[in-house]
Structure 1
């Protein structure tokens, strides 16, 4: 899988800004995007994020020493850094996080990839990993290397997709009302899945109903001809189903016949007429698998491959979602 070399005109056109040329940059091509000066590679574009705890603009000299010659920076930092920049292109913008979101949407369309988005109170990461394993047997899949599911991590994940990616499997996290709406509008998913509505963020939002409303924000960016997968075992299934603007595909634990409960070693299951061992324990993990299998059916994954894939699933490090 290869990354697509982009001309700086890609940034200019999608940010509606002309690059500021300083000195004599090597060439007008971009090999990728990064926000981490420790990991950035020569030829990539550094997007400097100014956060509450740190200001990545201070790491621009490090990027220059690593062969970076394209920068997206906060407009107010341009003059402060005028003696730092040398032989490079810079794009001064009002908000580098917003700029990254615009570029992510444009890049996804450029490489003709579709996306599948996952949200919910728990089980997001495990469900995402299950879906990735299953869909990878048929498609070229791209997903986050880490738990990148916020307004910085999600667009960065999109921008780091190889140009032959067919489906991006993306996780939408939430710290406040409106965040999932924002992420869904960036991801523009063809289909999505809501794992469940639980007590995570209850302190911030006050009630399960408010949490359900926030999770339903995934509908804001979903393709109007798309699909949503909903957990029919969840107390808010009917609410989410009624609110959905797209076709609903439901799933639940009753999709399985439990042949053996192996306690900490998972289950022996029958799904339709397929039997297999599932190594992840707990009914919550049955729910995660039910959703992932329903998604694999939707994307027409070869059902004969399911037993081997599921039996080799490992728990996500540090999680038992």
Structure 2
């Protein structure tokens, strides 16, 4: 059984109350606390200290314990998040597994799922839980790893300079993947130069021979790292891309592969996974077979059929780059139906956000879809500037749903940022 008792003694050193306790798991949600849990109270988690103790927690760490300050099971710390991070860092040092860290503006989660899907066929592998990729989620994920895990595939997210540096310090990755440098988080980082600086903070923690990057990206093409891309000079060259309804066929370094995912961008994401499989000793057939049985986090170009309507739910998140990729993929998808696009706001794009939304709508117009529906205040401002009869703005998702119902046999792409929740348009 995994135990964190020695780890806690290392961190807190001479703390008498640790002598006679057993800690076998770490929890941040009081409802998931069981016997022998360490409950780390973060933010409003401090309100649930009593519940955690009643559920069997053997120890609680809190920076705001209030009436529980003197409770025998409660340790007061200056900062619960920092304590979580330091415990994860110490725990990672004790683990003998390989860590693959994935960052980039777009494609992190899908690449994570693909790398996990390949490697888990041969190795005992864990991956980031959901979107637990930030200053809290990543260390928490590390603390869920087991002693016999062989590989951990961790997603590193950020919204400011210095955050990838800290996450890399905690994760101590053996391998790194940078998917691209795009326009996500420009609200905080201002420009792509800063996005590049933020994402490449990971490099000082990994040997250059263990870093994979998208070599076609103008920001990444000159890095001293292994390049994956469509350029002839790539270390891993993607060619002969074919879009089918079921997924995409392509070649990587003259070897044929198929993935049950649509989009040219997903051939790139899959190529990162193929390369990692090769680096970690998997053969061609093992990798090829593993890609046929991939499970991807929901709302990533997910096909949902509702009577005559085919929904393509790509509404988990959005940026200008990912929206253009979604439009291109939808356009090339071989479907015998009229194609409708529903575009929601892309958030966190900074002062040029309307310019980006104008570009997205113009791209949709160029694709000549049967209908273009837009939703959100940014999309409204952009559509007002364009003044195209092809574009219809809606104030509510209910109105969009009712309009779609009246269109008969159609395929509908839903694409917008997480905050727009465009999946609510899908008819019950």
Query: Aligning the two structures, in what range does the TM-score lie when normalised by the shorter sequence?
Result: 0.7 to 0.9
Partner of 2:27: 34
Equivalent in 241, 250, 260 of residue 227 of structure 2? 250
Deviation track 1:106-126 (CA, whole Å, cap 9, x = no partner) reads 112223223110000000000
Structure 1: tracts of 5 or more residues without a match: 243-247
Partner of 1:286: 267
CA pair 313-66 structure 1, distance change in 2 beyond 3 A: same
CA pair 165-89 structure 1, distance change in 2 beyond 3 A: same
Q: Secondary structure at the match of 1:181?
A: helix
Residue 115 (structure 2) pairs with residue 131 (structure 1)? yes
C-alpha distance in 2, partners of 1:277/1:166?
A: 26
Partner of 2:4: 6
Deviation track 1:45-86 (CA, whole Å, cap 9, x = no partner) reads 000112xxxx21110111112111211111xx3453247x3x
Max radius of gyration: which structure? 2
C-alpha distance in 2, partners of 1:60/1:226?
A: 46
Residue 62 (structure 2) pairs with residue 58 (structure 1)? no
Q: CA deviation at 1:194?
A: 0.3
Paired residues, what number? Answer: 297
Residue 309 (structure 2) pairs with residue 311 (structure 1)? no
TM superposition outliers: structure 1 runs of 4+ over 6 Å: none
Residue 220 (structure 2) pairs with residue 237 (structure 1)? yes
Equivalence map 1:79-158=2 (5 Å): 80-82=67-69, 85=71, 88-158=72-142
Residue 159 (structure 2) pairs with residue 175 (structure 1)? yes
C-alpha distance in 1, partners of 2:16/2:277?
A: 43
Q: CA deviation at 1:226?
A: 6.2
Q: CA deviation at 1:31?
A: 0.8
**Contact kept? 2:46, 2:65, Cα under 8 Å:** no
Equivalent in 43, 65, 71 of residue 60 of structure 2? 71
**Contact kept? 1:19, 1:91, Cα under 8 Å:** no
- Which deviates the most, 182-191 or 274-283? 274-283
Partner of 2:246: 265
Higher relative contact order (CA 8 A, sep 6+): 1
Q: CA deviation at 1:17?
A: 5.6
Superposed CA RMSD: 2.2
State TM-score, norm by structure 1.
0.85
Q: CA deviation at 1:183?
A: 0.5
C-alpha distance in 2, partners of 1:286/1:225?
A: 23
